[in-house]
C-alpha cells in the first residue's frame, strides 16, 4: 500500500510539473493565440492594453513589465512560467470583462482584406470597394506558392519559411500575392463570404474546430477535396477534407477578395 501511495503521489507531482512547464515563454515579437490570451488577461486585470492582435509588441511588453514590477517579480518583459503562474491567479478588476475587448488585427485597416459577409442579414453578396473575389487564376497561383513550402516544419507562432503554424502559413502565402489577411485563425474566419464544401475552389480558406470551439485550425483548399495546412505533427502537408480526423471537425469555408 505504501508503495502504491508513493507512486500515486509521484504521478501527481509529475503531472503538476508537466502542466507548469507546458506554459509557453512569450517575449517581444512572439505571435499567436497565446499572446492574444496574454493581452486579454492583462487588460482584464487592469493594465493598459489597446492592441488585441496576438502580436507581442512594445505595448504588451510594457504591460508585462509593469505587472512583474507590481507583483515583485524579476522585471524582464518576458512571460515565463513564474509570470504565467501569478497571472493565472490574479483576478480581474471590477468593471472589466471580455465582451468589452475590441478585436483588432494587422488587416483591420487594410480595405483590400476586410469584408463583411452580408448573407447573414439578407443583403446582396458583393465584394467591398469594387474588389472582386479571388479568381480561379489567382487561386491556382496561391496554391502553387503554398506547395513550395510542403515539408516545412510546424513551429508554434511561426510565420516564416523556417517554420509555420496554421494561420501564419496562410498569412504568409497570401501576402506573396499582395493579399493581406489577419494573423489568427479566428480573425481569418471573419473574412469573405461563406461557401459550402461543394462550392470550394482552389485558394479558398477552410476552417476546423479542433482543440477548442470555434475556428482553431485553418488551411488552403487545393482542389480535389484536399487542403494544404500546417500540421502540428508533420508540418506543411496536404490532407483530404474527408479524412476521418478532419471531416467531423470541419467548421466552414470562406472565399476572400483579391
pLDDT in tens, 103-149: 444 333 333 333 333 333 333 333 443 456 788 899 999 999 999 99
Q: Return the top range by mean pLDDT from 114-128, 214-228, 244-258.
A: 214-228
Segment 152-169 mean pLDDT: 92
Identify the band that residue 187 occupies on the pLDDT scale cut at 50, 70 and 90: confident
Report which of 106, 255, 110 is spatially closest to residue 191, judged by C-alpha positions: 255
Q: What is the pLDDT of residue 73?
A: 94
Residue with cell 503538476: 16
Identify the band that residue 102 occupies on the pLDDT scale cut at 50, 70 and 90: low
DSSP bridge partners of 217: 208
Residue-wise pLDDT for 47-87, tens only, equals 988 887 778 889 999 999 999 999 999 999 999 889 998 99
Q: What is the pLDDT of residue 56?
A: 87
> Residue 214 CA to chain centroid, in angstroms?
11
Instruction: Look up residue 100 and give its DSSP letter.
Output: G
- Helix axis angle for 81-89 and 2-21, nearest 10°, is 100
Residue with cell 479542433: 210
Question: Among residues 33, 183, 193, 229, which one is catalytic?
Answer: 229
Segment 210-222 mean pLDDT: 89
Question: Among residues 217, 218, 221, 226, which one is catalytic?
Answer: 217
Residue with cell 477548442: 212
Where do the domains of the chain lie, and which CATH numbers do they carry?
A: 2-100 (1.10.101.10), 118-255 (3.90.1720.10)
Choice among 149-153, 194-198, 200-204 with the minimum mean pLDDT: 194-198
- Residues with Cβ within 8 Å of 184's Cβ and at least 6 positions away in sequence, in order, are 32, 33, 36, 53, 54, 105, 167
Distance separating alpha carbons of residues 189 and 237, to the nearest angstrom: 21
Instruction: Look up residue 106 and give its DSSP letter.
Output: T
229 in catalytic set? yes
> Residue 223 CA to chain centroid, in angstroms?
24
Q: What is the pLDDT of residue 114?
A: 35
Rama region for 222: left / alpha / beta (φ>0; ψ in -120 to 50; rest):
alpha
Distance separating alpha carbons of residues 103 and 166, to the nearest angstrom: 20
Q: What is the pLDDT of residue 252?
A: 93
Q: Is the pLDDT at 245 greater than 60, yes or no?
A: yes
pLDDT exceeding 70 applies to what percent of the chain?
A: 77
Segment 161-179 mean pLDDT: 92
Nearest 5°: the CA angle 154, 208, 39 is 70
217 in catalytic set? yes
Identify the band that residue 165 occupies on the pLDDT scale cut at 50, 70 and 90: very high
Question: Among residues 79, 166, 179, 185, which one is catalytic?
Answer: 166
Nearest 5°: the CA angle 38, 44, 50 is 70
Helix then strand count (H, E) for the chain reads 7, 8
177 in catalytic set? no
Amino acid at each position: 500500500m505504501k508503495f502504491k501511495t508513493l507512486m500515486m503521489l509521484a504521478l501527481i507531482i509529475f503531472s503538476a510539473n508537466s502542466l507548469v512547464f507546458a506554459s509557453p515563454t512569450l517575449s517581444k515579437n512572439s505571435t499567436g493565440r497565446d499572446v492574444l490570451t496574454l493581452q486579454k488577461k492583462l487588460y482584464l486585470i487592469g493594465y493598459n492594453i489597446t492592441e488585441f492582435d496576438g502580436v507581442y509588441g512594445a505595448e504588451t511588453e510594457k504591460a508585462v513589465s509593469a505587472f512583474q514590477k507590481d507583483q515583485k517579480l524579476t522585471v524582464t518583459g518576458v512571460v515565463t512560467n513564474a509570470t504565467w503562474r501569478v497571472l493565472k491567479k490574479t483576478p480581474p478588476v471590477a468593471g472589466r470583462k471580455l465582451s468589452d475587448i475590441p478585436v483588432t488585427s494587422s488587416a483591420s485597416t487594410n480595405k483590400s482584406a476586410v469584408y463583411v459577409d452580408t448573407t447573414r442579414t439578407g443583403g446582396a453578396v458583393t465584394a467591398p470597394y469594387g474588389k472582386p473575389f479571388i479568381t480561379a487564376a489567382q487561386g491556382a497561383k496561391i496554391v502553387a506558392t503554398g506547395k513550395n513550402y510542403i515539408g516545412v516544419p510546424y513551429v508554434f507562432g511561426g510565420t516564416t519559411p523556417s517554420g509555420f503554424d496554421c494561420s501564419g502559413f496562410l498569412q504568409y502565402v497570401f501576402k506573396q500575392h499582395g493579399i493581406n489577411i489577419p494573423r489568427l485563425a479566428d480573425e481569418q474566419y471573419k473574412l469573405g463570404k461563406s461557401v459550402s464544401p461543394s462550392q470550394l475552389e482552389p485558394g479558398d480558406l477552410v476552417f476546423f474546430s479542433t482543440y477548442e470551439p470555434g475556428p482553431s485550425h485553418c488551411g488552403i483548399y487545393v482542389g480535389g477535396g484536399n487542403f494544404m495546412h500546417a500540421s502540428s505533427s508533420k508540418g506543411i502537408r496536404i490532407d483530404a477534407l474527408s479524412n476521418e480526423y478532419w471531416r467531423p471537425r470541419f467548421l466552414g469555408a470562406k472565399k476572400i477578395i483579391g
